Amino acid sequence: MAPRVLISDDLSPAAVAIFKERGIDVDVKIGLPKDELEKIIKDYDGLAVRSATKVTEKVIAAAGNLKVVGRAGIGVDNIDVKAATAKGVIVMNTPFGNSITTAEHAISLMMALARQIPAADRSTQAGKWEKSKFMGVELFNKTLGVFGCGNIGSIVADRAIGLKMKVIAFDPFLSAERAMALGVEKVEFEEMLRRADFITLHTPLTDKTRNVLNAESLARMKTGARLINCARGGLVDEKALAEAIKAGHIAGAAFDVFEVEPAKESPLFGLPNVICTPHLGAATNEAQENVALQVAEQMADYLLKGAITNAINFPNITAEEAPRLKPWVKLAEQLGSFAGQLTESSIKSIHIEYAGEVANLNTKPMSAAALAGVLRPLLSGVNMVSATSNAKERGIKLEETTRGQDGAFESYMKLTVRSEKYDRAIAGTVFSDSHPRVIQVRDINMEFEISPHMLFVRNADKPGFIGRFGAVMGEAGVNIATFNLGRDKPGGDAICIVATDEAVSAEVLAKVRALPHVVRAVPLAF
């Protein structure tokens, strides 16, 4: 059955065509009331939105089949990402489709602010000729401070360098090498405030960046500096900025985004040398087309191939990686499930070792799958997307190590669950037939494939166990598909892993546990 996608905001017809061309059923229903969206969302695998649709916790809760929400744009303020993650729903955005458009808008606002163009236009069209009133400043040789030198910020920096401005940048994630390649000087926040003639913001709104430019930090800006915000409302305390402009400390500001949108009122409105636009950063025909096409391609790739691009709540998986990763992800989930079903006490941490060629792959999806497998016996409904947040909430640490080839296998992964009482280890590999196989349990070498119904038995390595066990299963009419044995040393601990055609009943399980030398017997389901 083909995946189904709902488009609930106005997207380009080309995006609809992409879904249809790739065999995905698509419905376009724009402007749905929230109760109607909650009612019908259960029928869809994907939801494509812009900023109008509010993907709330209630919408997520009602979405029984939803796998992905695609946002045609950068900001995901209208999507409850936490609820989506807990439900295992991928949330994607399109950070690059409108980058140039937003950067150009920031440059446009900076130039308009420097030369007071909007006010001069209003004055001239009113029949005045106030040439001396609108004395502006040049951009040439001025210092531009770029707060956030990521995708959009770096484009702004490039354009500003073309205008012969000196560009300094504050960004904790900007490396010295990247700064050099961009031709910008990396500085700390305080130095940017002190030196910049213009500051342009291009950073996400987080708990750390909310009101990052408040009364105190605005006071530390260079007297006569100008501020541009095309990033997110809430980065600047608008009331404090208005006071700084009235006091003459800040010469002007240009804002495309506001604390409350739509912005019907703001302390900045009506102030001299303040320019305000209604969140136009991405509002060009080219940008709207680009983000619509990008979100359609990304969602289609995920629903059809398992490729994940620009996800907010999960590591990326390219379309090229997906086929190669698929058997390893399956193995990771199987190993996690195996260990999780055998773990009875509280889990402290999970350690995953990647050795050989698998260590060179994208290990994040594999680790997420292993984590989901471990947690699923304890938390129903957990999956690769929600596993990490569920583990953090419960104080379970995830540790990863990678190493070169070691031992008889070219490539393998080993998962160790550390609980309050003991460590539980299991290892596996993927052979050339792409079938995952377990190769070690509790450091005992043994090879088998995971089956839907299995039985784990730990016993003392004593004669007679196999015969007695076989008799119990035969008398109960349980057909054994595969039977694997291993031991740590002669007469020591032994493990028996049995695959059966059907689940072992509680009555048969009780008889197995009653056999001489049996320490533990646990049914496993996959």
Question: In terms of domains, do 135 and 226 share one?
Answer: yes
- At residue 380 the predicted structure's pLDDT band, cuts being 50, 70 and 90, is low
Question: pLDDT for 113-163, tens place per residue?
Answer: 999 999 999 999 999 999 999 999 999 999 999 999 988 999 999 999 999
Query: What six digits make up the tokens of 476?
Result: 């109960």
pLDDT at 164: 97
Question: pLDDT for 426-440, tens place per residue?
Answer: 999 998 778 899 999
For residue 262, say if its preceding peptide bond is cis, omega within 30 degrees of 0: yes
Question: pLDDT for 100-121, tens place per residue?
Answer: 999 999 999 999 999 999 999 9
Active site residues: 232, 261, 279
Q: Contact 276/268 with Cβ under 8 angstroms?
A: yes
- At residue 169 the predicted structure's pLDDT band, cuts being 50, 70 and 90, is very high
Q: Contact 281/101 with Cβ under 8 angstroms?
A: yes
Question: In terms of domains, do 251 and 138 share one?
Answer: yes
Determine the 3-state secondary structure of 126 from DSSP. Answer: coil
Query: What six digits make up the tokens of 276?
Result: 């305000």
Question: In terms of domains, do 330 and 468 share one?
Answer: no
What's the count of helices (H) and strands (E) in the chain, helices before strands?
A: 17, 22
Res 508 pLDDT > 90? yes
pLDDT at 201: 98
pLDDT at 347: 86
Task: Fill in the amino acid letter for 130.
Answer: E
Listed residue (298, 301, 308) closest to 329, CA to CA: 308
Check which CATH number belongs to the domain holding 509 and give it.
Answer: 3.30.70.260
Task: Fill in the amino acid letter for 24.
Answer: I
419, 450, 481 - which closes a domain: 450
Asked if the structure places residue 229 within a domain, the reply is: yes
Res 442 pLDDT > 70? yes
- Strands (E) in 266-375, as ranges, are 274-276, 347-356
Task: Fill in the amino acid letter for 167.
Answer: V
Asked if the structure places residue 314 within a domain, the reply is: no
Asked if the structure places residue 472 within a domain, the reply is: yes
Listed residue (502, 119, 67, 74) closest to 295, CA to CA: 74
427, 450, 473 - which closes a domain: 450
Query: What six digits make up the tokens of 41?
Result: 């969302």
pLDDT at 385: 83
Asked if the structure places residue 313 within a domain, the reply is: no
Question: pLDDT for 248-258, tens place per residue?
Answer: 999 999 999 99
Q: At what angle do helices 99-114 and 117-125 cross, to 10 degrees?
A: 60
Question: In terms of domains, do 30 and 87 share one?
Answer: yes
| The Cα angle at residue 438 between residues 436 and 439, in degrees rounded to 5 | 125
- At residue 317 the predicted structure's pLDDT band, cuts being 50, 70 and 90, is confident
DSSP assignment, residue 149? -
450, 480, 495 - which closes a domain: 450
What's the rounded Cα separation, in Å, for the pair 272 and 252?
Answer: 8
Q: Contact 295/91 with Cβ under 8 angstroms?
A: no
pLDDT at 204: 83
What's the rounded Cα separation, in Å, for the pair 37 and 408?
Answer: 55
* Count of domains for the chain: 4
Q: Contact 456/495 with Cβ under 8 angstroms?
A: yes
Residue 32's domain comprises: 4-95+287-305
Q: Is 306 exposed, middle or buried (0-12, 13-18, 19+ CB in 10 A)?
A: middle
Asked if the structure places residue 128 within a domain, the reply is: yes
- For 381: left if phi > 0, alpha if psi spans -120 to 50, otherwise beta; the answer is left
DSSP run (H or E) holding 250: strand 250-255
Question: pLDDT for 199-224, tens place per residue?
Answer: 999 998 888 899 999 999 999 999 99
Question: pLDDT for 237-251, tens place per residue?
Answer: 999 999 999 999 999
Q: What does the pLDDT average to over 446-457?
A: 93
pLDDT at 407: 64
Question: In terms of domains, do 123 and 253 share one?
Answer: yes
Most confident of the ranges 82-91, 226-235, 411-420: 226-235
Listed residue (144, 141, 70, 143) closest to 103, CA to CA: 144
What's the rounded Cα separation, in Å, for the pair 32 and 47?
Answer: 13
What's the rounded Cα separation, in Å, for the pair 297 and 311?
Answer: 13
Question: In terms of domains, do 497 and 436 share one?
Answer: no
Res 452 pLDDT > 90? yes
Q: What does the pLDDT average to over 269-279?
A: 96
DSSP assignment, residue 443? T
Query: What six digits make up the tokens of 226?
Result: 């100008």
Question: In terms of domains, do 149 and 263 share one?
Answer: yes
The pTM for the full model equals 0.65
Question: In terms of domains, do 66 and 213 share one?
Answer: no
DSSP assignment, residue 423? E
Q: What does the pLDDT average to over 442-470?
A: 92
Question: In terms of domains, do 67 and 152 share one?
Answer: no
Asked if the structure places residue 22 within a domain, the reply is: yes
Q: Contact 507/516 with Cβ under 8 angstroms?
A: no
Asked if the structure places residue 180 within a domain, the reply is: yes
Q: What does the pLDDT average to over 495-509?
A: 93
Mean pLDDT estimate for the chain: 92
- At residue 4 the predicted structure's pLDDT band, cuts being 50, 70 and 90, is very high
Q: Contact 57/35 with Cβ under 8 angstroms?
A: no
Q: Contact 478/470 with Cβ under 8 angstroms?
A: no
Percentage helix, strand, coil for the chain under 3-state DSSP, each rounded to 5: 35, 25, 40
222 half-sphere exposure, CB direction, 13 A CA radius: 18
Check which CATH number belongs to the domain holding 155 and give it.
Answer: 3.40.50.720
Question: In terms of domains, do 467 and 436 share one?
Answer: no
Residue whose entry in the numeric block shows the structure tokens 């049914």 = 523
Q: Is 74 exposed, middle or buried (0-12, 13-18, 19+ CB in 10 A)?
A: buried
Question: In terms of domains, do 127 and 270 share one?
Answer: yes
pLDDT at 42: 94
Q: Where would I find the H helices in 132-204?
A: 151-162, 176-182, 189-195
What's the rounded Cα separation, in Å, for the pair 346 and 230?
Answer: 48
Asked if the structure places residue 230 within a domain, the reply is: yes
Determine the 3-state secondary structure of 501 from DSSP. Answer: coil
Question: In terms of domains, do 266 and 353 share one?
Answer: no
